[in-house]
Amino acid sequence: MRLVVAVTGASGSIYAKNFLEAAKSHGIETHLIVTEAGKTVVRHELGDVEQITALADFTYEPQDLEAPLASGSFRVDGMVIVPATMKTVAALAHGYNSNLVTRAADVHLKERRPLVVVPRETPLHAVHLENMARLSRLGAVILPAMPGFYHHPESVDDLASFISGKILDQLAVPNKLYRRWGEP
Ligand SMILES: Cc1cc2nc3c(=O)[nH]c(=O)nc-3n(C[C@H](O)[C@H](O)[C@H](O)COP(=O)(O)O)c2cc1C
Amino acid residing at 181 = W
Q: Which CATH number characterizes residue 53's domain?
A: 3.40.50.1950
In terms of C-beta density within 10 A (0-12 exposed, 13-18 middle, 19 or more buried), how is residue 152 classed? exposed
Q: Is the CB of 166 under 6 A from ligand 1?
A: no
- Residues with Cβ < 8 Å from 116, sequence gap 6 or more? 78, 79, 80, 81, 82, 140, 141, 143, 167, 170, 171
On whether residue 97 sits in a domain, the answer given is: yes
44 lines ligand 1 (CB under 6 A): yes
The closest residue, in CA terms, to atom 25 on ligand 1 is 88
| pLDDT over 90 percentage in the chain | 97
- Residue 91's nearest CA partner among 3, 8, 17 is 8
Overall number of domains in the chain: 1
Q: Whose CA is closest to atom 16 on ligand 1? A: 9
166, part of any domain: yes
Q: Is residue 156 one of the residues assigned to a domain?
A: yes
Of all protein residues, the one whose alpha carbon is nearest to atom 6 of ligand 1 is 10
Is residue 151, in this structure, part of any structural domain at all? yes
User: Which pLDDT does position 127 carry in this prediction?
Assistant: 98
CB of 85 shorter than 6 A to ligand 1? yes
Best mutation site among 41, 97, 122, 142 for ligand 1 pocket (most ligand atoms within 8 Å of CB): 41
- pLDDT tens digits, one per residue of 98-140: 999 999 999 999 999 999 999 999 999 999 999 999 999 999 9
Percent share of the chain, pLDDT over 70: 100
- The pLDDT value recorded for residue 16 is 98
pLDDT of 176 reads 95
pLDDT digits (tens, 9 = 90+) for 65-80: 999 999 999 999 999 9
- Model confidence, pTM: 0.98
Query: From ligand 1's centre to the CA of 36, what distance in Å?
Result: 10
Instruction: Answer yes or no: is 175 within a domain.
Output: no
- Tens digits of residue pLDDT in 8-43: 999 999 999 999 999 999 999 999 999 999 999 999
Q: Is residue 180 part of a domain?
A: no
Residue 184 resides in a domain = no
Cα 54 to ligand 1 centre (Å): 22
Range of the domain at 106: 2-170
pLDDT band at residue 167 under the 50/70/90 scheme: very high
CA dist 4 to 10, 45, 127, 140, 141, Å?
Answer: 18, 22, 26, 14, 15
Look at residue 162 and tell me if it is in a domain.
yes
How far lies 148's CA from each of 66, 127, 142, 181, in Å? 39, 25, 16, 11
Nearest CA to ligand 1 atom 7: 10
